[in-house]
Amino acid sequence: MDIIEKYAQLLSNATDFSKFVSEKELTPAEMKKREEVAKAIERDNPDMPMGKKMAIATATAKKVAEEVELDEASNEKPPFDPPYKEKQPENVKDKSGATHTPMSRARDLARRVIQKNQKTK
C-alpha cells in the first residue's frame, strides 16, 4: 500500500476533518469589510444567494487586508540596495555656476512638459 492509499484510508476513517484542515479566522477589520461588501452586493443584486454573497465578500475582504499588509511592508525601506539618497540637496549648482532651487527645478520640469505636449498637437 503506497502513501496515497494510506492517506486516503486515513481520511475516509476520520470523522473530524478539523484535524486535517485549518482555516485562518478573519480579523475584526476583515469581518467589518466583509459585512460592508455583503451589504453592497445585497443592494446591487438582492436575488443572489447568501452563500455566494458571503464567499465574494470574504474573498474581497481578505484581498483588501493583504493589500494593506503589503503597503505597510513596502513603507519600511527602499526595495533596492544603497547607495541612494534619502533627500535631494536644497540647492544645486550646474556647470555654468547657476544655482537651482527645488522650485526652479520644478518650474523647469513643468515648462518641458508643456513644450512637449504642444509639439505633439
Do 108 and 95 contact (CB within 8 A), yes or no? no
Does position 100 have pLDDT exceeding 80, yes or no? Answer: yes
Domain of 72 in residue numbering reads as: 25-76
- Give the Å distances, CA to CA, from 93 to 24, 103, 110: 57, 14, 20
Q: What is the mean pLDDT of the chain?
A: 78
C-alpha grid cell, residue 60: 474581497
Q: Tell me, yes or no, whether 5 lies in a domain.
A: no
pLDDT confidence of residue 24: 74
Greatest C-alpha distance within the chain: 84
Residue 101 CA to residue 94 CA, distance in Å, equals 11
- Say how many domains are in the chain: 2
Higher pLDDT pick, 47 / 90: 47
Does position 46 have pLDDT exceeding 80, yes or no? Answer: yes
93-109: average pLDDT: 87
pLDDT confidence of residue 116: 87
C-alpha grid cell, residue 29: 477589520
Q: Tell me, yes or no, whether 60 lies in a domain.
A: yes
pLDDT confidence of residue 93: 86
Does position 72 have pLDDT exceeding 70, yes or no? Answer: no
Residue 31 shares a structural domain with residue 69: yes
Higher pLDDT pick, 24 / 69: 24
Residue 29 shares a structural domain with residue 66: yes
Residue 53 CA to residue 39 CA, distance in Å, equals 9
Do 79 and 60 contact (CB within 8 A), yes or no? no
Residue whose cell numbers read 465574494:
56
